[in-house]
């Protein structure tokens, strides 16, 4: 007997939450990792390309494989690789081994993200945008809770390695539950045709969607990952908010995603994206320009509120334009986000050690959001292109 769609949707949300716990806590963990492996800021920044290089490979490979083999098998594979990478990271005795573990964590989390989104879209095709946004709400909940929880555990005697082991154990519980589930026939993707895949890759709108996601994810990951360091090193009074700033950002991100649910279906997806990106540009820039702690915190919160829906909006647009190859289309768009998540945070870490300092380096965040805004405006002028079924 097929598993109810609601339970499968909840498991998809749980997979996203588990990934977000890892990513949300990363900014708080960075100084501890730096101490453990004797790393400076620039070397700490190399963990981003390692993680997101694996993420891109996992997304591209598993988005395609999920169209060929089915969503469940590939999601289980992603959960297993993610858990294995977490265990390896927690066990790492050298920086080189930590980089290899980050690569595995990225590959597993990439598979989880793209396949969970594709499966959710298959389960409720009539509510695709709503379900994709619900997954991002789940992501926001995990990312909001994890910085403060991580900081509390670390400052109360918990070794950072046990955080990785604990997350891996929870991940394996989800693996066991999902392995016992059966996917409804209505949610099984049709066999992938290479002609349809080629059509997707040749569409200009697909390249634009990939560019938007790369810029957005790079901006988002940079903002919440490096803000704790910026607060500690440069902002007066910011040291007390090293963990709290990430939680604040993700609380407003989650609120923004809830609010977006009420707007979906009323306005075109790319019009909403342009509004989100425009607000993000304004408030992210103000957060870097203002010198006082309280106004900066307000701007950080408003940045999260505005940019909250961009990821799911871009994915929903890809699903609307290319419904017959959703796994592959989602894979390409999410992989592009992984490239942005690797390059832009690494660039900020490198630039921060130059004369630009943290303010100048973090200016890449509003600049990337400007790119997202411009591409969303361009896509609004293009007629939707649907891949053949």
pLDDT for 197: 59
Res 192: pLDDT: 46
Confidence of residue 187 (pLDDT cuts 50, 70, 90): low
- The reported pLDDT for the residue numbered 212 is 94
With a CB cutoff of 8 Å and minimum separation 6, the contacts of 169 are none
Query: Which pLDDT does position 294 carry in this prediction?
Result: 92
d(CA 67, CA 9): 18
Higher-confidence residue of 126 and 101: namely 101
Mean predicted lDDT score pLDDT of the chain: 83
**From start to end of 130-274, where are the E strands?**
none
Mean of pLDDT values over 160-168: 92
Q: What percent of the chain has pLDDT over 90?
A: 27
Q: Which residue would you say has higher pLDDT here, 213 or 197?
A: 213
**Angle between helix 194-202 and 204-233 (nearest 10):** 60
Which one has a higher pLDDT value, 326 or 16?
16
Contacts of 209 (CB under 8 A, 6+ apart): 314, 317, 318, 321, 333, 336, 379
Res. 176: pLDDT tops 90: yes
227 CB-near residues (< 8 Å, 6+ apart): 27, 245, 246, 249, 300
Q: What is the pLDDT of residue 41?
A: 67
pLDDT score for 384: 54
Q: Could you give the CA distance from residue 179 to residue 365 in angstroms, rounded to a whole number?
A: 40
What lies within 8 Å, CB to CB, of 138 at 6+ separation is 13, 14, 16, 17, 20
pLDDT at 113: 83
The residue that leads in pLDDT, 312 or 186, is: 312
According to DSSP, residue 235 is labeled S
Query: What is the per-residue pLDDT for 389?
Result: 45
Residues 150/27, Cβ–Cβ less than 8 Å: no
Residue 208: what pLDDT? 92
Query: Can you give the residue ranges of every domain in the chain?
Result: 5-184+195-378
At residue 331, the pLDDT reads: 72
The answer on pLDDT for 46 being more than 60 is yes
Please name the residues in contact with 168: beta carbons below 8 A apart, sequence gap of 6 or more: 82, 83, 84, 86, 87, 90
Asked if the model's pLDDT at residue 194 lies above 80, the reply is no
Residue 324 pLDDT class (50, 70, 90 cuts): low
* Phi, psi for 208 (deg, rounded to 5): -65, -45
Q: Would you place residue 214 in the very low, low, confident or very high pLDDT band (cuts 50, 70, 90)?
A: very high
Instruction: Give the mean pLDDT of 204-215.
Output: 91
Encode pLDDT of 111-155 as tens digits.
888 888 888 877 777 777 777 778 878 888 888 888 888 888 988
- The pLDDT value given to residue 310: 92
**Coil, strand, or helix at residue 267?**
strand
CA distance 92 to 269: 43
Is the pLDDT at 307 greater than 80? The verdict is yes
Instruction: Please say if the pLDDT value at position 328 is more than 80.
Output: no
Span 355-389, pLDDT tens digits: 888 889 999 999 999 999 999 999 886 655 554 44
The DSSP secondary-structure symbol of 229 reads H
Residue with tokens 């007390």: 240
> In the chain, pLDDT over 70 holds for what percent of residues?
89
Phi, psi of 191 (to 5 degrees): -60, 135
Between 283 and 318, the higher pLDDT residue: 283
Query: Is pLDDT larger for residue 341 or for residue 274?
Result: 274
- Cα separation, 200 vs 203, whole angstroms: 6
Q: Residue 159 carries which DSSP code?
A: -
Residues 60, 48: Cα–Cα separation, whole Å: 18
Note whether 317 and 212 are within 8 A (CB).
Answer: no
Q: Class of 5-184+195-378 per CATH?
A: mainly alpha
Are 33 and 98 within 8 A, CB to CB?
A: yes
Question: Which region among 18-22, 203-207, 249-253, 310-314 has the lowest average model confidence (pLDDT)?
Answer: 203-207
């Amino acid at each position: 007997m097929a598993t109810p769609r609601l339970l499968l949707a909840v498991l998809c949300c749980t997979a996203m939450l588990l990934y977000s716990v890892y990513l949300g806590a990363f900014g708080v963990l960075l100084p501890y990792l730096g101490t453990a492996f004797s790393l400076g800021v620039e070397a700490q920044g190399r963990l981003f390309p390692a993680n997101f290089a694996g993420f891109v490979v996992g997304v591209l490979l598993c988005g395609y494989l999920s169209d060929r083999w089915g969503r469940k098998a590939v999601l289980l594979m992603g959960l297993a690789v993610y858990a294995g990478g977490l265990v390896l990271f927690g066990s790492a005795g050298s920086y080189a081994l930590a980089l290899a573990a980050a690569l595995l964590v990225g590959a597993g989390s990439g598979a989880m993200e793209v396949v969970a989104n594709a499966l959710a879209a298959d389960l409720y095709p009539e509510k695709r945008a709503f379900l994709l946004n619900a997954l991002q709400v789940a992501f926001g909940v995990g990312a909001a809770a994890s910085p403060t929880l991580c900081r509390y555990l670390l400052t109360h005697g918990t070794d950072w390695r046990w955080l990785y082991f604990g997350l891996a154990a929870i991940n394996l519980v989800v693996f066991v539950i999902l392995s016992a589930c059966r996917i409804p026939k209505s949610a099984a993707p049709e066999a992938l045709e290479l002609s349809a895949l080629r059509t997707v890759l040749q569409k200009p709108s697909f390249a634009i969607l990939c560019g938007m996601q790369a810029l957005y994810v790079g901006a988002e990951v940079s903002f919440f990952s490096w803000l704790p360091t910026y607060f500690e090193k440069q902002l007066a009074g910011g040291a007390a908010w090293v963990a709290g700033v990430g939680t604040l950002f993700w609380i407003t991100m989650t609120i923004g995603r809830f609010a977006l649910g009420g707007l979906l279906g009323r306005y075109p997806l790319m019009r909403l994206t342009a509004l989100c990106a425009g607000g993000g540009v304004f408030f992210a820039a103000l957060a870097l320009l203002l010198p006082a702690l309280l106004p900066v915190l307000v701007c950080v919160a408003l940045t999260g509120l505005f940019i909250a829906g961009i990821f799911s909006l871009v994915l929903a647009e890809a699903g609307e334009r290319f419904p017959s190859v959703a796994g592959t289309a989602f894979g390409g768009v999410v992989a592009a986000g992984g490239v942005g998540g690797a390059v832009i945070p690494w660039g900020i870490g490198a630039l921060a050690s130059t004369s630009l300092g943290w303010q100048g380096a973090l200016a890449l965040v509003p600049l990337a959001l400007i790119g997202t805004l411009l591409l969303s405006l361009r896509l609004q002028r293009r007629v939707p292109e649907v891949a053949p079924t």
